Amino acid sequence: MSTKHCLALGATLFIAVAFGPVHAGDNPKRGAKVYGACAACHSLEPNLHLTGPSLDGLWGKKAASVANFPRYSGALKEQGFIWDEAPLNAWIADPQAFVPGTYMTFRGIDDEKVRGDLIAFLKIAMAPGGAKSAVAQGLINAEMARGQAPEPLATLGPDHQVTGIRHCQSTFFVATADGRQTPFWEMNLRLKIDSSSNGPKGGKPALVPGGMQGDRASIVFSDIEEIGRLVERKC
Binding site for ligand HEC (CB under 6 A): 37-38, 40-42, 51-53, 55, 58, 63-64, 66, 72-73, 75-76, 83, 92, 102-106, 122
CB 220 within 8 A of CB 206: yes
- Rounded to a whole number of angstroms, the minimum distance from the CB of residue 41 to ligand HEC is 3
- Rounded to a whole number of angstroms, the minimum distance from the CB of residue 93 to ligand HEC is 10
Smaller CB separation from ligand HEC, 94 or 223:
94
How far is the C-alpha of 126 from the C-alpha of 48, rounded, in Å? 14
Smaller CB separation from ligand HEC, 37 or 227:
37
Q: Of 54, 44, 49, 17, which Cα lies nearest the Cα of 121?
A: 44
Smaller CB separation from ligand HEC, 52 or 116:
52
How far is the C-alpha of 60 from the C-alpha of 110, rounded, in Å? 24
- Rounded to a whole number of angstroms, the minimum distance from the CB of residue 64 to ligand HEC is 5
Smaller CB separation from ligand HEC, 12 or 105:
105
Smaller CB separation from ligand HEC, 51 or 195:
51
- Rounded to a whole number of angstroms, the minimum distance from the CB of residue 66 to ligand HEC is 4
- Rounded to a whole number of angstroms, the minimum distance from the CB of residue 82 to ligand HEC is 10
Q: At what angle do helices 85-93 and 112-125 cross, to 10 degrees?
A: 130
The vertex-72 CA angle with 92 and 46, nearest 5°, equals 80
Distant-in-sequence, close-in-space partners of 173: CB < 8 Å, separation ≥ 6: 165, 166, 167, 181, 182, 183
Q: Report which secondary-structure segment, H or E, holds 81.
A: none
CB 184 within 8 A of CB 215: yes
